[in-house]
Every structure is written in structure tokens, then in C-alpha cells.
Structure 1
Amino acid sequence: MNLATIIISAIIGYLVTYISTKWVINIAKSRGFVGKDINKPDKPQIPVLGGVSIVAGFIAGAFTFLLFSNDSPRSEIIEKVIVSVLLSSLLIGYLGILDDIFNLRQSIRAFLPIFASVPLILYSSGHSIISIPFLGQVNFGIFFYIIILPAVLTITANAFNMLEGLNGLGAGMGLIMASALAYIGLRSNGPTFYAGVMALILAFVLFSFLLFNKYPAKIFPGNIGTYFIGSVIGSIGIAGYMYTALFFLYIPYAIEFFLKARTKFKGVSFGKISPDGYLYWDDKPNSLTHVVMKLGKFKEYQIVAILWGIELIFAILAIIFQEIVIKI
């Protein structure tokens, strides 16, 4: 595969995200799609639906790669990877934009990712074996298609949506996760390599969006953004058979799930703000963000940096253990 093609595709994704994010900021303001930045003293109104630009950038990058790969001897494998990742992710992105507009019930949020897993189930037909560290290869048979795949996509999409609420948090976490999958994939062969290309495109897209979403945020990703990022990461992990990496990358989100479960998923990730601009939480923690707030006196961007650091540790573990699996 031509390295230039990969780089051009990633750059296209970056540029389309950058341009469309500026456009969405202006449009969202004029149409009233704004939300309060609760972690700021003056609670400014910030444009939402930034996930639209993330979707646009990722599609542009993926289609560019697909276009330049038409004459590749492995074009059939490339098409299967890209189409399965895009279809599943776009279906969940659709769920996100519906949730942004209509505030959907939890049951609907849980059902659509199961339906969205169908393209990945068709893609994975004949591949029901998962390599597990220290256990070797395990064939799950029919349960792989009817339970494991839908569960993985549902968890990766919904869990990512839970840990959000601070400027740049979700986009930065997604950037770290996508970079880890890109590193693993681009050092591999076959479908895993092409899934790595998709992860690299996503990393460039998220970096571009983060320029506007970092503290102080000029735009929020909205549910369409968080659901889409989570589903793309999950879809890439499934399409590239990087299940071990997904396990480690989502450990912080598993912790977040249990913290939110204590509140029957009514808890928030926001903090309370002190007069001098520090975030704090004086109740039982509902989120990993609250756990960090209880560790010391931090401003919003410092809390985000700490959580990025935690995710980076698990990303390194994901790379190490995925490489162990590859050697099995």
C-alpha cells in the first residue's frame, strides 16, 4: 500500500474536519443549537453538534483512501473493512443526532447499536475466534455473532458517551485510543492493517476537532460526536480483530460505567466551580472526573490532562498485550 495514499487520506480528513467545524460553529450559533458550558463561572453558550464535522471529516478521509485503493490487488478486503466500519458507525451517529434533537429514551439508545452491528457481523462471517492473552485462541461459534459483536459495539458506543462534559475530554481520549489502534494496525498485515489506516484517519480528524474543542471550547461534539467516536473505535477494533486492545482502551470507561450505575445512570461528569476557577465535587463521585477532583485542587484543563494521562497508560498496555496476542 502506497504510504502517500494513507497520508493524503488522513490529511483530507483533517482539512474537511477543520473547515466544517468552523462552518458548524457559525451555523449552530445562528440556529440556536447551543448549550451551556457549566464548568465556567459565566456559563457561556457554546455551539453543539460539532460531531457533524467529525463525521464529515472521517467520511472524507475514508472515501479518499477507498478511491485511491480501487486498483489495489487487495481492494476487496479494503472495501469490506471501510464499508463495515462506515455503515455501523454512521448508523450509531444517526442515533446520536436523534438523541441531540429528541432526547431519546435509554431503551432506544441500547437497541440501535445492536442493529448497527449487522454490517460488522456480515464482515466477520467465518471469523469467530478470539485470541486471549495467556489462554490462546477461543472459538465462540454462533455466540460470537449474536452476543459478542453486538455487545462490543453497544458498549463502545454508549460507554464513550458517558465520560464527557469537560472541554476536550472526549476528543482527546478518542485521539489517544485511535492512535493506539493505528500503531497496532499499521504494523500488521491484512484487514488489521487497513483497520489501522481507518484509525489513523480518525486520529487526524479528532486532532483537527480538538483544536476547537480544547479548553476553552468553541464547540461541543454533542451526542452525535460522542456516539460516533465510540462506535468508530469499536468498529475499527472489530474489523481489525483488535479485541484485546479494545479491552484495555475501555478500562477507564468500564470504571465510569460502574460509577454511573450507582446513580442509575442519572449522574453527571460536570463539576462544581469555586470562586477562583477550580472544579470540585463534594458528594459521592458519579464519574472519573469527580474522582480526580477529589484528589486535589485542579482547574478544568488540568483534570482533562490527568484523564488523558490515565488513558495513555491503558493505550500503552493495549499495544503491549495486543502484540502478545498477535504472536499467539
Structure 2
Amino acid sequence: MKWLYVLVSDSVALFVAILSTMWVINASKAHGLTGKDINKVDKPDVPLLGGVGIVAGFVAGSFALLALNFSFSLIVEPILLTSLLVGFLGVLDDFLNIRQSVRAFTPLFAAVPISLASLGHSTISIPFVGPVNFGLVYYVLVVPAALTITSNAFNMLEGLNGLSAGMGIVMAAAFAFIGLRQHGYPQVAGLLSTVLIACLVGFLVFNRYPAKVFPGNVGTYFIGALLGALGISGYMLTALAVLYVPYVLEFVLKARTKFRGISFGIPQPNGKLSWTGKPQSLTHIVMKMGRFSEPQVVGVLWGIELIFALIAVYLQTTVIVIR
């Protein structure tokens, strides 16, 4: 039965994500909502707010899943509400360019639905340590902190065509593999992970090099929050932590610049990207490794994330076994 859920919900999500992204591209062009792709020599104007297509696809896929089995609402609704609240923050940031301090802490409030849905499950199985019951601290500190970190960190590592969508696909695939092998909340989180994959694949059709649309903050914040919500609600916190190791490194690099650093490169006439000076992002470290084009830099980072995804799956399914 779960494969029927996957087939129906993912098909709906993919279809809606593609149609919505096509609409966003046309609407953004018509209203002048574009940004410069500064990784290209000619710096073309590219439509923004492509993340709206991802949001629309995920909402449609989630509703399809609920139509097939409404008992999933106990986990689907909190995940959906939390990720939509953070996605709304991304919309505000795209239009109003809100202060970084506000962006950093607003997701704390969006964590309320996930915290409430997690009542009664405050134990985390830590690799090589064992189960640790955090009690009330889990709901008021661990969950909000995890969601805040995942949404903000995912937004940091962006700026190249297809980068965030591909990273999200790899991370969601790890959650899907872990969750679908279990029952209860983890399995539903696994099903929702496949819905996210379908949305990101649909979006990547237009966001791959050369990009026809950018995700915008609405896209990156939404994906990051959704990944955090899936990891928390599916009791896959160890996997979530491992999957975000590259983003921790990105945070350290950005912190060195007081978060004024960029992830873009310097485009060359031969189609390669370069960077001079100290790296401000993981993208710059890859650029300094060789003469890479933009798709190659993105591919290397996808590969790095894939390695951490394999480690995450191993730890969550072999070392921890449960939760």
C-alpha cells in the first residue's frame, strides 16, 4: 500500500510543481521580479520566486497523501504548517529584505507545531552513546533550535544553478530510505520525503544550468525547514545532523565574514568559475581545487552531500537501529 501512496502523491506533487514553476517564470518576468545570474559572463536576468513552485507541489502532494489516508494527518499537518510558516518568512525576505537577526530567530516560533506533535517522544538515540531522554528541554530547546538551524543553514549554501535543489534531493532521499523501512511516524516522514523529492525534481528541470528560474529565499527557507521537520518528526535526528555537516562548514566560512560572504564565483570567458582570496563558501573551496565550470562545481558538492547521506543512512539504520 505504501508504494501506492508514493506513486499517487509523488505524481501529483511533480505535476503541480512543474506547472506552478512555469507559471512563476512567466509571472516573474511580467512583473519584473528578476535577478542577475552573476555566475555568467553576460549576467542574464533570471526570474525569482521559483520556490513557490516547490511549495505548491509539496502542498498538493501532501493533500493527495491525506486523501489516501487521513490518519497521516497527525504528522502531515504539523510538518506542513511548520514549513509553510518558514516559507512565508522567505517570501517576506524576498520582498522586504528583512534584517538578518529577524531571519535567524523567526523560525523558533514556526517550531511550535512540530514541538506539540512530538509530545511524548523526547528521547534521542545518540550513536555510540545510547538513548538520552531530554525531557522538557527537547520541546522548548532541541526542536526549535534544530528547525532554526536547518532553515537558516540551507539558505546559506546557494547561488549556483541547481545547487540547493540537488542537495535537497540527496538529503530527502536519505530520509525516504530510512523512513520507508519503518512503521508509524518514520514511515509517514519517509513518504513525505518522496513528495519533496518529486517537487525538487520538477523544479530542477527549470533550475538546472543554465537556470531559467531561481528558488529565492521562499524556496531555500522552505526546503531547509521541511528537511528539519521531516528529520524531527520521523525520529531521524542523527541522520539530520550528519546530513547538515556541509552546512555547518558553510556556516563557519560565512561566520568568518560576519555573514557578509557570498557563494558566487568569478565567471571566466572559457565558462569556468574562479575565486581569489580566502574562501567565503564551500563553493569557493571547490573552485580553488581546479578549473571547474558551474555545473561541475555543483556536481562536486552534490557528491560531497551524497557521501554524508550514506553515512547518515548507515548510522541511523545500523548503529542506532531505532530512533
Q: TM-score, normalised by structure 2?
A: 0.98
- Unaligned regions of 5+ residues in structure 1, if any? none
Equivalent residue, structure 2, for 1:209: 203
Give per-residue Cα distances to partners, 1:255-306, cap 9 Å, x unaligned: 0000000000000000011222211111100000000001010000000000
Matches within 5 A, 1:154-165: 154-165=148-159
Distance in 2 of aligned mates of 1:112 and 1:327? 31
The alignment-based identity, stated in percent, is 57
Give per-residue Cα distances to partners, 1:27-48, cap 9 Å, x unaligned: 0000011000000010000000
Equivalent residue, structure 2, for 1:264: 258
Distance in 1 of aligned mates of 2:136 and 2:4? 40
What's the secondary structure of 2:106's corresponding residue? helix
Equivalent residue, structure 2, for 1:44: 44
Distance in 2 of aligned mates of 1:174 and 1:327? 24
Equivalent residue, structure 2, for 1:15: 15
What's the secondary structure of 1:127's corresponding residue? coil
Equivalent residue, structure 2, for 1:103: 97
1:224 is the counterpart of 2:232: no
Instruction: Confirm or deny: 8 A CA contact 2:5 2:191 kept in the other structure.
Output: no
Q: TM-score, normalised by structure 1?
A: 0.97
Equivalent residue, structure 1, for 2:27: 27
Equivalent residue, structure 1, for 2:115: 121
Displacement of 1:112 after TM fit? 1.5
Give per-residue Cα distances to partners, 1:113-164, cap 9 Å, x unaligned: 0000000010001111000010000011111111110000000000000000
Equivalent residue, structure 1, for 2:141: 147
Equivalent residue, structure 1, for 2:162: 168
Equivalent residue, structure 1, for 2:297: 303
Distance in 2 of aligned mates of 1:257 and 1:124? 28
Q: How many pairs were matched up? A: 322
Instruction: Confirm or deny: 8 A CA contact 2:127 2:320 kept in the other structure.
Output: yes
Q: Which amino acid aligns with 1:285?
A: P
Equivalent residue, structure 2, for 1:184: 178
- Unaligned regions of 5+ residues in structure 2, if any? none
Displacement of 1:2 after TM fit? 4.4
Distance in 1 of aligned mates of 2:313 and 2:12? 27
Equivalent residue, structure 2, for 1:236: 230
What's the secondary structure of 1:326's corresponding residue? coil
Displacement of 1:167 after TM fit? 0.2
Displacement of 1:5 after TM fit? 2.6
Runs in 1 of length 4+ with deviation above 4 angstroms? none
What's the secondary structure of 1:276's corresponding residue? coil
Equivalent residue, structure 2, for 1:79: 73
1:55 is the counterpart of 2:49: no
Bigger drift between 243-252 and 102-111 goes to 102-111
Distance in 2 of aligned mates of 1:327 and 1:312? 22
Q: Which amino acid aligns with 1:36?
A: K
CA RMSD after TM alignment: 0.9
Distance in 2 of aligned mates of 1:156 and 1:2? 28
Q: 2:310 aligns with which of 293, 298, 316?
A: 316
Equivalent residue, structure 2, for 1:326: 321
Displacement of 1:327 after TM fit? 4.8
